[in-house]
């Protein structure tokens, strides 16, 4: 070890020992928003508790008719009129699309604004407005999650982030973007001095971030997640991806037992592929930044996101690590205490301390 990295290590160790983890007090009430490919989750501090709410990040369009509009209103299904169409969004859209055998559309794809969806912005705005109030007084801080850029997506990420900031500004909020993997660290690793690897596996992407004392050091974005699994399994069993999604979510996914049929076998294959790709990406990024010399003890890994809630996901991840060891020591691997809201909670924590 050279003198420089020895000094760095010492510094990190000293900071860790004096870091007042348990005495951090929130500076302000704040709102955190996780804009995921399939769900938008908002978290707010209410007194000492944190309240989380979510909406499906999806919509469908139907031809405008007064009668349909009245029906939607009576049934309290979120909608707005856009020209000669009615846009039905959020969880209500899923029910409606299923009844009408219509396609659900998505404002986002693979973690970012969906470039093929011209209605993306008005729908996102409606979804955000339904989950969080307008800021009063003007300029309250809202923090929102952004994925790490997958290779080749750097400019698209810039556009995504800037566009969301504009939307939040329109709602009266000053906003800060928080990396998604870091958000998992912030919500789950307070007892570890906000040091470790936070991973979020959602619908469109998997994000992984190594943070040292709350500072993100390595951020990895992998294309692929639940949506990719749905499409791949659907192709094998000749079903629509949306059907596979429902089968997964309603039946639950159990990766701990041997697959019993073609559906389960396909699920296992694509879950394994996803986890291996994620671990490979993380391993390469850690090796490329030479982080191991800055970490002198084992780091914990926390897994969050809807895709990580499959039974046995943690074990699958652990096995992938055995075949593909990371260039640093791992002290533990666990599932987040609340995998579906971990990112939003962490983002809210970041908003709490934003200046």
Q: Which stretches of the chain bind Mg ion, using CB under 5 A?
A: 36, 202
**Of 202 and 281, which has the nearer Cβ to ligand ADP?**
202
Collapsed DSSP state (helix, strand, coil) of residue 217: strand
CA distance 203 to 300: 24
CA distance 274 to 272: 5
Residues 307-326 that bind ligand ADP (CB under 6 A): 307, 309-310
Tell me the HSE value of 353 on the side-chain side, using a 13 A CA sphere. 11
Binding mask 247-286 for ligand ADP (x = CB under 6 A): -xx--xx---------------------------------
DSSP of 42-104: EEEEETTEEEEEEEES-EEEEE--HHHHHHHHHTT--EEEETTEEEEETHHHHHHHHHHTPPP
Site size toward ligand ADP (CB under 6 A) is 20
**Interface pick for ligand ADP out of 306, 336, 349, 350 (rule CB under 6 A):** 306
**Of 184 and 320, which has the nearer Cβ to ligand ADP?**
184
Residue 219: CB minimum distance to Mg ion, A: 14
Residue 220: CB minimum distance to Mg ion, A: 14
3-state helix, strand, coil in the chain (%, to 5): 45, 25, 30
Residue 260: CB minimum distance to Mg ion, A: 29
**Interface pick for ligand ADP out of 305, 341, 349, 352 (rule CB under 6 A):** 305
CA distance 132 to 325: 42
Residues 173-232 that bind ligand ADP (CB under 6 A): 202-204, 226-227
- Do 34 and 344 meet the contact criterion of CB atoms below 8 Å apart? yes
**Of 252 and 298, which has the nearer Cβ to ligand ADP?**
252
Tell whether omega for the bond before 137 is within 30 degrees of 0, i.e. cis.
yes
Which of the ranges 90-98, 241-249, 279-287, 295-303 carries the binding residues for ligand ADP, by CB under 6 A?
A: 241-249
Residue 252: CB minimum distance to ligand ADP, A: 5
Residue 57: CB minimum distance to ligand ADP, A: 6
For ligand ADP, which residue has the nearest CB? 226
Tell me the HSE value of 280 on the side-chain side, using a 13 A CA sphere. 8
Residue 225: CB minimum distance to ligand ADP, A: 6
Residue (of 313, 51, 335, 315) closest to 198 by Cα position: 335
**Of 295 and 306, which has the nearer Cβ to Mg ion?**
306
For Mg ion, which residue has the nearest CB? 202
**Interface pick for ligand ADP out of 30, 31, 37, 157 (rule CB under 6 A):** 37
Residue 99: CB minimum distance to ligand ADP, A: 20
Cα 5 off chain centre by: 33
The conformation of residue 199, written as its DSSP 8-state character, comes to E
- Do 18 and 7 meet the contact criterion of CB atoms below 8 Å apart? no
Residues that bind ligand ADP in the complex, under the rule CB under 6 A: 36-39, 202-204, 226-227, 245, 248-249, 252-253, 305-307, 309-310, 340
């Amino acid at each position: 070890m050279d003198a420089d990295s020895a000094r760095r290590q010492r510094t990190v160790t000293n900071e860790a020992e004096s870091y007042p983890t348990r005495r951090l007090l929130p500076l302000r009430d704040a709102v955190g928003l996780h804009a995921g490919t399939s769900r938008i989750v908002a978290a707010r501090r209410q007194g000492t508790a944190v309240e989380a709410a979510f909406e499906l990040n999806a919509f469908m369009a139907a031809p405008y008719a007064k009668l349909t509009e009245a029906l939607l209103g009576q049934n309290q299904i979120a909608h707005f009129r856009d020209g000669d169409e009615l846009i039905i969004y959020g969880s209500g859209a899923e029910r409606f699309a299923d009844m009408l055998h219509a396609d659900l559309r998505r404002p986002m794809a693979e973690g970012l604004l969906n470039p093929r969806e011209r209605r993306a912005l008005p729908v996102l705005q409606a979804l955000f407005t339904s989950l969080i109030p307008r800021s009063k007084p003007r300029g309250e801080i809202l923090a929102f999650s952004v994925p790490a850029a997958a290779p080749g997506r750097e400019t698209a990420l810039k556009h995504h982030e800037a566009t969301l900031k504009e939307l939040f500004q329109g709602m009266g909020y000053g906003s800060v973007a928080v990396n998604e993997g870091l958000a998992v660290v912030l919500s789950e690793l307070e007892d570890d001095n906000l040091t470790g690897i936070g991973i979020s596996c959602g619908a469109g992407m998997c994000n992984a971030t190594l943070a040292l004392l709350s500072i993100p050091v390595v951020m990895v974005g992998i294309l692929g997640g639940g949506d990719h699994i749905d499409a791949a399994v659907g192709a094998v069993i000749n079903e629509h991806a949306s059907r596979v999604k429902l089968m997964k979510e309603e039946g639950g996914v159990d990766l701990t037992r041997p697959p019993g049929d073609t559906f389960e076998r396909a699920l296992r294959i694509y879950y394994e592929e996803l986890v291996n790709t994620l671990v490979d990406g993380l391993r390469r990024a850690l090796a490329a930044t030479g982080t191991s010399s800055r970490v002198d003890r084992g780091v914990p890994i926390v897994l969050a996101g809807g895709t990580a809630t499959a039974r046995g996901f943690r074990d699958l991840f652990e096995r992938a690590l055995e075949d593909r060891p990371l260039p640093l020591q791992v002290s533990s691997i666990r599932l987040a205490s609340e995998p579906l809201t971990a990112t939003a909670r962490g983002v809210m924590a970041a908003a709490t301390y934003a200046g």
